Amino acid sequence: MSDLKTQLKEQIAPMDWQDLVTHAQRDVLIVVDSNLDLIEVGCAIAKDKTSLVQNWISEQLIQKPSPQQLSLWNQNQNYKFNTIIVQPYVLISPCFEE
């Protein structure tokens, strides 16, 4: 496993929506579809793999939160996300609890 993957894996952290609101206000959140691996996306962004990232964007697998998502999360702040920081972005993926 590459050093970057190891580093990102160690940094992954569950966060509640209320802890992410300030990042949303700064427009630095990127929602990663649950079908993608958060670490893989973080590595691709960090390594500037533009074509791969553009492909995910065009397939709407990674995107900025929609106004509807923000509204839903603001109304019910019990949402939890797995997060990693890849400057300047905060990548978030829904955290499904059993």
pLDDT at 82: 96
pLDDT at 98: 39
Task: Print the SS3 string covering the chain.
Answer: CCHHHHHHHHHCEEEEHHHHHHHHHCCCEEEECCCCCHHHHHHHHHCCCHHHHHHHHHCCCEECCCHHHHHHHHHCCCCEEEEEEECCEEEEEECCCC
pLDDT at 77: 73
pTM, full prediction: 0.91
State pLDDT tens for residues 7-66. Answer: 999 999 999 999 999 999 999 999 999 999 999 999 999 999 999 999 999 999 999 999
